[in-house]
Each structure stands twice: as C-alpha cells, then as structure tokens.
A and B are shown apart, each in its own frame.
Chain A
Amino acid sequence: MIEGLSRNAARNIFFGGSIFFFVLFVALTLHSHYYIVTESTDHDGLTEQVRMGKHVWEKESCINCHSLLGEGAYFAPELGNVWLRYGGDEDPEAARQGLKSWIRLQPLGVPGRRQMPSYKHLTEEELDALVEFLRWTSTIDTQGWPPTISG
C-alpha cells in the first residue's frame, strides 16, 4: 500500500488529516466544557471556600501521594470519594470533623506504616476549606467510578 503513495501525497494526508482530527477534538472538548459547567459538576457551588480548598490542596501537593478521581500518585488512598467513605452523605458534620481530625493528627508515626506528613501549619480556615473541596469533589458525576467505596 505504501509503495503506491508518493511522499507529497503522504505529507498532504498528514497535514489535512491532522487538522481534521484536531478540529474535531477541540469541538468535542468545547462541548465537554459546556457539559461540565452545566451538568456534571456543581459549578454554581464553587464558593470562595471550595476555591480556597483547591488552592490548599495544590499548595500541599497532596496529589503526589494520593490519587484524585484516579489521577495522581498511587502511594495513598483515592480521595475523590473520601467524603463518602467518611459517611458525608449521611452525616456531613461527622464527616467534616472526622476528616479534619484525621489531617490534624498526622503524622501518626505507626512504625512500618506509610506516613502522611504533618499539617499542623494549616489554619482552621484552611482545613475547613480543604474538607469542603473534598466534599465538592465527591459530587462530580463520574459515570459511576470508582466501582467500590474503597476507591
């Protein structure tokens, strides 16, 4: 098949085809953008507190130990649904307190067990925001992922 093809024809197919697929890809992402903003996430619920929580999440780079919606590192538990694991859908207040005190307690220092670092430098406000960000994340429509509550 390749014998019958000239170099210039191959080049034209490359440029033409790539532009075609690129345009298609961008069109689909634009639609996905719209879908995310209007349907799959609580876009209106992106309060100052959630934004701040995302900022804390990034400042501490939790992603380099944990995964979030399955992306990130594989060293520590998935956190996209940790709010639900802590029972946040039934008792939000207990989940909030549970998550906050878990983070405050670090490092546990159990010998021979993976460590999560100390976060004692975070303020009460930052901790609240972080947990609120995790709650917001748990409301994203992820097409039913993860398969189990264990994450």
Chain B
Amino acid sequence: MKYETQKVAYPFFIAALLLFAGQVSFGLLAGAVYVWPDFFADFMPFHIMRMSHTNLLLVWLLIGFFGATYYLLPEEAETEIHSPMIAYIQLGIFVFAGAAALISYQFGIHEGREFLEQPLWIKILLTISFLMFLYNGTRTLMAGRKTAISIVLLLGLWLAAIFWLFAFYNPANLSLDKMYWWYVVHIWVEGVWGLIMASLLAYLLIKLTGVDREIIEKWLYVIVGLVLFSGLLGTGHHYYWIGTPGYWQPIGSFFSALEVVPLFAMVAFAFYMFWRGNRNHPNKSAILWTLGCTVMAFFGAGVWGFMHTLSWVNYYSHGTQVTAAHGHLAFYGAYVMLNLAIITFAMPQLRGKRPYNQIRNMWSFWLMTGGMAFMTFTLTFAGVIQTHLQRVMDIRYMVAQDDLTLFYAMRFGSGVIVVIGALLFLWATLGKPREQVPTGATHIATDAA
C-alpha cells in the first residue's frame, strides 16, 4: 500500500461484508418460506424478508464500491484522498440509513416499489452520503493524475447517483411509474454499474497481471462503450408489457441481445490479460475471484439474460421463477463476485499482511459459486415448468406452484451452501491470518503487489 489514506477503505469493506452476511441470511429465510409456508408467518411475513434481502444487497454492494474507490483512487491519482474525515462520516451515514431501513421494515414501515422501499427520509440520507462520496472522490481525482480507470469509475458512480434520483419520482400513472422505475433498476445494473465493473476489473488486471496500462485502458473504453451502446436501448426489454408502445419489442430484443457482447468481451479481456501477463502474483485467491467474476457474469447476465430477453420468449416467461434464476446469478456473478475480488485483493494490504488464508478463501469461492449455480439451475427448471403450466395450459398460479415444491427444496439446500460459503469468506478475510500459501506458489515473490 503506497498511500496512507488507502486505509479509508478498510471500514468500508468490513461494513460491506457484515451486511453481506445479513443479506444471504434473509435470503435463506425467504427461501425457507417457499418450502415451509407456515415458517415465521406470524413473526415476519415473506415480503419483509424479501425487501430486507434485496435492500441489504444493494446497500452492501454500494458500500463495497465506495471502499474500492477509496482504495484505488490514491494509487491511480497518485495523491492522498481529499478528506478521510468526509469518507468516515459518509460511511457512517450510509450504514445508519441502511440499518434504519432494515429496522423500520420489521415494523412494517416502508414505501412500496420493489427495491426502492426505503422511507423518504432514508432515501434522502442515502443521497447525501452518496454526494459526499462523489465530492470526495472527484476532489481527489482533480488533484492528481487522471487515468482512464479513475475517470470511467467516477463517471459510473456519478451516473449511478444521477439515475438514482428517479427513485424520488413516483407518478400516479402506473405505466409511467414502471417506465421510470427501470431508469434506476435497469440503467444501474446493465448500464452505469457496468462502467464501475469494467474499471474495477481493469484495475485488478493491471495489478494482478502486470500488463501495460495503455493496452488495458484501451480495452476498458471499448468494453464500456459496448455496455452503454447496447444497454441504454436494451432497457426496452422491460418495456414490452407495461403499457409502453409496441416498437420496444424489436428495439428491446435487438439491443438487449447485444448486451451479451460486452459481457463476453470482459471474459476474453480478463483471460487474455492473464495469458499475456508475466507477473506471478501471490494473491491466488484474488485471481480466482477476478476470473470467476467475468465468467459467472457472462453466464448469469449474458446467457441467462439472453434466455428470456427476446420479446416472444419473454411473453411467456415474464415474471416467473426464470426471472428469479437470472436475477440471482447475474447479481452474484457481476457485482457480488466483483466486490469479493476487490476485497480479497485489498485486505492483505490493508491489514499489512501477505496474502493469507487463501485455502479458506478459495473454498468459499467454490462453495458460494457452486451453490449459486445450483440455485440458478433449480429455479430455471421451476420457471420453465411454471411457464408451461400457467402461461400455456392456463393452470392457476397456486395450483401450478404445487408442482414446484421439489425445486424450492433444492433452492433452499443450495442456499444453505451459499450461506456457509459466505461465512467462510468472512472468516478467511476478517479472521486471524494464518501464513498459508497454496501449493505450487511457495516460491513466489512476496510483495509483487
């Protein structure tokens, strides 16, 4: 670690990981209700578990992005963070707002649009914290060297904050409401967060492979270009059946199908750089997460997204367990694994250690990734059957659900594995370091980072 203020990232990563543990636990509760419908019914109804699960996801991912930015910005800009104090206050506000949302949900206090359930005052706090972050990051960037990585990263974060403002706009006309709701949800995950993802990957690749910045940054611009060229009009794949005009069916189908291209380019990018690179970096588990992230994002977002994105397929699959399957693997592959890659890479340096607990970390990789993959398969089967029963044979929802019990049980089982993997990850990264280097890597230089 070259710059003192990179340390700012440390509490961000700890907060993110703790909330991550909470997120998957709520997922497990919600998954349990599918198998034992009476489970917790009097104590915490399904909708409360679900909004806690998804809100914690978004909050911890954002905290992870903030932390990652504070970590890499000094190195990229070659200057210290503008104000560590603002960073800590900003983190405090964000965590407080997230916790306040979580607690108020348990008392039935929430707004009512999916993912945007936070009460108004909490949304305002989140916005304030986000703006403080952007101020701090932008001041740091302005004061130092401006690399493509830091420019694309901050651009992505700025745009994320700007599109978030649509969360405050809730028209009474349901179709308008839905159309602008996707300005937050789709434009985030398939648009501007793509900038964050690609730039963080580019940073990791420079560090882990030692390939020239010039080459990596060129790829970065090509990839983020492809993300936005396809992803903006790709929003049309949510505008098929909500009262929007029919032209979205060809436009949405065409452009969202193209969204697969940048996802594939990211896989090629990452593997190509490792193939070209000559650096034998000792943090093997960070390499695993980095490569794994691109592969799982390609499958979860790219392949599973494409599966139901053409309007004539989506006509049948829209809003079934197929969507849940895709939502899980896409979020996990693209954004969960991205954060875990950065954390795995940065933690040893933040704690002033050599890469540690790598075996444990890699076990957690395989448990979580295997668990999520299996969960995706079971939900996909459930979704296909549901689609056929309900959308082709016109069997009522609750009757059709009776045939899916087995898949929900398997989803719960794989959820247990994911939670174990997540806890193992926390133990590996936050726990006591054991000097432990994977076999075959014992000879490596120790401080290539």
- Report A's interface with B, CB cutoff 8 A: 2, 5-7, 10-11, 13-14, 17-18, 21-22, 24-25, 28-29, 31-33, 35-37, 40-41, 43, 46, 50-51, 54, 57-65, 67-78, 107, 111-115, 117, 136-137, 140-151
Contacts and interface: CB of A to CB of B under 8 A. Distances in A.
B431 interface: no
Nearest to B51: A64
A70 B242 CA distance: 8
Q: Which of A67, A115, A136 has the most CB of B within 10 A?
A: A115
Given A6-B218, A75-B34, A151 B173 contact: no
Interface of B: 33-34, 37-38, 41, 45-48, 50-51, 110-114, 117, 148, 170, 172-176, 178-179, 214, 217-219, 221-222, 224-225, 228-229, 232-233, 235-236, 238-249, 251, 315-316, 318-321, 323-324, 390-398, 400-401
Given A59-B112, A70-B319, A111-B38, A151 B390 contact: yes
Given A115-B37, A142-B241, 13 more contacts: A13-B221, A13-B222, A18-B232, A21-B229, A21-B233, A22-B232, A28-B236, A29-B179, A36-B175, A40-B245, A69-B319, A74-B320, A150-B397
A35 to B, nearest CB: 5
Contacts of A50: 172
Contact of B239 (A32, A77, A151): A32
B394 A33 contact: no
Given A32-B248, A77-B398, A150-B394, A17 B228 contact: yes
Contact of A73 (B47, B110, B240, B397): B47
Given A149-B394, A150-B390, A41 B243 contact: yes
A2 to B, nearest CB: 6
Contacts of A115: 37-38, 41, 45-46
Nearest to B185: A71
A31 B245 contact: yes
Contacts of A17: 225, 228-229
A145 B394 contact: no
Given A61-B47, A61-B112, A150-B397, A142 B390 contact: no
B397 A143 contact: no
Would you list the 10 A-B pairs with minimal beta carbon distance, nearest first? Answer: A58-B112, A70-B319, A64-B47, A145-B241, A10-B221, A148-B394, A14-B225, A77-B397, A70-B318, A18-B228
A150 B396 contact: yes
A46 B45 CA distance: 31
Contacts of B391: 146-148, 150
Contacts of A68: 174
A24 B225 contact: no
A25 to B, nearest CB: 4
